[in-house]
Structure 1
Amino acid sequence: MRVLVVYCHPVETSFHAALHQEVLRNLRAAGHDVDDWDLYAEQFNPVMSREERLGYHEVPSNREKVQGHIDRLQRAEAIVFCFPTWCFGLPAMLKGWFDRLLMPGVAFDISDPANVKPMLTNIKRISAVVTYGRPRWMAWYMGDPPRKIVTRYMKRLTAAQARVDYHAHYHMNVATESQLKRFMHRVGHAMARFA
């Protein structure tokens, strides 16, 4: 399977960087063709310019500035997001990835605004590896936007065809070494069985 891994963390020595490597190692060992998209390493620009916003609905010219990125998304059969949750949301870099790439003519067809059609039907599998600084109950209280974006919004863009799983470690601020090892093992096991 062609798997696009979208990784978003600025620190190469972080626990999330280790999770990212665990994801890659196990997907590759399972025989998948992995496109590793490290947003920080590749210096992805998350900022939608005034020009891009004004042309957002102009299909296909809205693709011009991000066509190479769109090609990677459209080649994928599966996508794995790997990111921390900051302020109960996506990191700004990843939010910008969603804003700039999931646009009309790419992620959805709005030629009939009353009947929007999903266009990411090439994606058959969605997964996420996510860390939170706070406990699960607080993320739930805040609505857990990252979980909803991955498990609901992304799935909807695939015409609800994609199978989705979400691997979250809550309360990183007080996590013990053994808890982190267990989560790492869980993630590795999930990626080794990814299909």
Structure 2
Amino acid sequence: MRALIVYCHPRETSFTAAVRDVVLEKLHAAGAEVRLTDLYARGFDPRLTAHDLEIYEDEAANQLALRQDCADLKWCDTLIFVYPTWWYGLPAMLKGWLDRVMVPGLAFLMPKGPGETIGPGLTHITRLGVFTTCGASWWLTRLVGAPGRRTLLRGVGLLCAKGKRTAFAAHYLMDSSTPESRTKHLAKVARQMDKLIGRLPARATATA
């Protein structure tokens, strides 16, 4: 199991960091190979420039600026996003990562003729996890369109393997959360990670 975690939060003391740590603990216990990209810590530039757009469909050039991110995406069979939901959407840093790394020839295949749609390029990814926090309530988030589910589980998910495993957990009403609600949510994240990882081989279970 080769897991890539895309983590997006500016504060190391955030609750989102605690969620990330639970995800990491579960992956390490399962014996997974793990790569973590911390977008804020590395100063990731989310801007899609005019030059980026010019070479966007040039598969010989569109991965050069972010070689490591593209290599990580090719390497993993498990992709996990950990981030806060702001203004009913992905943080600009994370949206920019999608814009700049999920390029043609890697994340998806361009249409070959008129009227055709894109094809999936991430069919090697068999597990997809999304872990977020929301200031709004469950019903208000759903009313607006549940961005984590829509953009990541559905949008990115359509590019991944058919029959993939998925996991999702969101702490709603984060702005009025309590120690009890946060503890309960971390337990939910742990259960969702167990679901995502699935049954382990006997040897891995013995050494976990």
TM-score, normalised to structure 2, is: 0.89
Q: Is the 8 A contact 1:30 1:192 kept in 2?
A: no
Pairing 1:3-152 to 2, within 5 Å after superposition: 3-113=3-113, 114-152=116-154
Residue 188 of structure 1: how far off its partner (Å): 2.1
Would you say the 8 A contact 1:83–1:129 is kept in 2? yes
CA distance in 1: counterparts of 2:143 and 2:44, whole angstroms: 31
Q: Secondary structure at the residue paired with 2:83?
A: strand
The answer as to whether partners of 1:2 and 1:78 remain within 8 angstroms in 2 is yes
Deviating 4+ runs (over 6 angstroms): none
Where does residue 173 of structure 1 map in the other structure? 175
1:84/1:91 contact within 8 Å kept: yes
How far does residue 159 in structure 1 lie from its aligned partner after superposition?
4.6
Query: 1:155 matched to which residue of 2?
Result: 157
2:181 maps to 1:185: no
Match for 2:25: what amino acid?
Answer: R
Q: Deviations over 1:112-156 (max 9, x none)?
A: 151421110110000111100010111111111221112211111
- Output the CA distance in 2 between the equivalents of 1:99 and 1:152: 16
Length-normalised TM-score, structure 1: 0.95
Which deviates more, 34-43 or 159-168?
159-168
Deviations 1:30-59, CA, capped at 9 Å, x for gaps: 211111111111222111111011111112
CA contact (8 A) 2:127 2:164 kept: yes
One-letter amino acid matched to 2:14: S
Of the structure 1 ranges 146-155 and 96-105, higher mean CA displacement relative to structure 2 is found in 146-155
In structure 2, distance between residues paired with 1:161 and 1:101: 24
Give, in whole Å, the separation in 2 of the partners of 1:39 and 1:127: 17
Cα distance, 1:182 vs. partner?
A: 0.6
> Letter of the aligned partner of 1:98 in structure 2?
L
- Structure 2 residue ranges without an equivalent (≥5): 199-208
Secondary structure at 1:61 match in 2: coil
Deviations 1:132-191 (A, max 9, x none): 001011111111122111221111111534222211111111112111101011112332
SS, match of residue 46 in structure 1: coil
The letter for the 2-side match of 1:50 is: A
Structure 1: gaps spanning 5 or more residues: none
Residues 155 and 161, structure 1, Cα contact 8 Å, conserved in 2: no
> Which secondary structure state, in structure 2, belongs to the residue aligned with residue 90 of structure 1?
coil
Kept in 2: contact 1:27–1:192 (CA 8 A):
no
